[in-house]
Amino acid sequence: MKLSETLKIDYFRVQLNAWRICGALDLSEGRYWSWSMLLCILVYLPTPMLLRGVYSFEDPVENNFSLSLTVTSLSNLMKFCMYVAQLTKMVEAQSLIGQLDARVSGESQSERHRNMTEHLLRMSKLFQITYAVVFIIAAVPFVFETELSLPMPMWFPFDWKNSLVVYIGALAFQEIGYVFQIMQCFAADSFPPLILYLISEQCQLLILRISEIGYGSKTLEENEQDLLNCIRDQNALYRLLDVTKSLISYPMMVQFMVIGINIAITLFVLIFYVETLYDRIYYLCFLLGITVQTYPLCYYGTMVQESFADLHYAVFCSNWVDQSASYRGHMLILAERTKRKQLLLAGNLVPIHLSTYVASWKGAYSFFTLMADRDGLGS
């Protein structure tokens, strides 16, 4: 099955469509000599030009803004390449999710599954609105400037201020880059919290299935079969978690490395240099975008760990006392397996946990004070 065929599943339809438009799906399937590669080159061609322009402006706001854009663009490029290398695993992830969805039964499970689906849609819309606002604030207001200007401070090897044709070309170059980088950011930043929330809820659904065994009118053999089916669900859930780790681990490591720098730069400019109302709105929206990038990820990463910890106690919530010796043997095996703590690590080093989010802000404060001392603003 090709990766593009998984678009029929609704959970990550918007994210997969964004990756498809940006060429990630083609590249992940080995079609390197296509329009997708040309598009990626065009989108990330501004990155070395941004790097060339770091701290080359007279305005400190433009210097810090250029640094933030450069760091963000480099991190986007790294995350995009990492996702391209792993996106084919989405086929297996979608298959496992479909397998777990097929096991939903009963009123309580159906209600929880329905709430899960609605929450996933709300989360996806929240990310879409946030990144749409960031794009509008970043890429549009330059038109209200009295002089010719560009959306982002960037070094160009030609004089765009004295030629309308060159200016239009530079403007189109930046706007196209903005559109596709924002789209890639949306897909890369919204997918991890969405799938982590889904895993957490699938674990809760499994807890419901296990804890309900033995309380109905089924025979001992039927109860034992239900337990064996739950063990298969557990295997599928563990495999889904492993696939998810391989998909998001290293991109999230890059994100954790960058977020502290971006928070520090944004607050530094907002506190010491910004004067106009528009600039304040822009940097506040940018700070909101940075927060949306990481907080939901860490929050749902924490939820996943707590849900898998609850799985152990669900085994003993079933009516295991009145079951057969064979049932109790399988139950003990299931209980022993659930004792294993499920750790979500970015880059196999950093926990995807709320404690890491707090640590990111502490790191941002350290970088902030370093920048303030460098510019003589610390006192």
pLDDT per residue as tens digits for the range 154-181: 777 777 788 888 888 888 888 888 888 8
Owning domain of residue 183: 3-372
- Element containing residue 350 per DSSP (H, E): strand 350-351
- Band of residue 253 on the pLDDT scale cut at 50, 70, 90: very high
**Residue pair 137/282 in contact by the 8 Å Cβ criterion:** yes
Q: Evaluate whether residue 378 is within a structural domain.
A: no
Q: Is residue 288 part of a domain?
A: yes
- Please say whether the beta carbons of 43 and 102 come within 8 A: no
Closest CA to 340 of 241, 222, 263, 255: 241
| Residue whose entry in the numeric block shows the structure tokens 């663009």 | 73
In the predicted model, what is the mean pLDDT of residues 373-378? 67
Residue 354, domain member (yes or no)? yes
SS3 215: coil
State the Cα–Cα distance between residues 153 and 56, nearest whole angstrom. Answer: 10
pLDDT score of 6: 41
Inside any domain, residue 379: no
> How crowded is residue 153: how many other Cβ atoms within 10 Å of its Cβ?
20
CA dist 302 to 12, 120, 168, 307, Å?
21, 17, 47, 9
Structure-model confidence comparison of residues 173 and 122, the more confident one: 122
The pLDDT-based confidence of 4 (bands split at 50, 70, 90) is very low
Is residue 80 in some structural domain?
Answer: yes
Quote the CA–CA distance of 109 and 10 in Å, as a whole number.
Answer: 19
- Indicate the pTM of the whole model: 0.89
Percent above pLDDT 70 for the chain = 91
At residue 377, the pLDDT reads: 64
Task: Identify whether 61 is part of a domain.
Answer: yes
Who wins on pLDDT, 151 or 270? 270
Q: Rounded mean pLDDT of 267-285?
A: 82
Q: How confident is the model at residue 187 (pLDDT cuts 50, 70, 90)?
A: very high
pLDDT at 5: 42
- What's the average model confidence in pLDDT over 115-136? 89
SS3 80: helix
Residue 183: inside a domain: yes
- Assign 3-state DSSP to the chain and report helix, strand, coil percentages, each to 5: 75, 0, 20
Number of structural domains in the chain: 1
Q: What is the mean pLDDT of the chain?
A: 84
- 377 lies in some domain: no
* pLDDT at 355 (0 to 100): 92
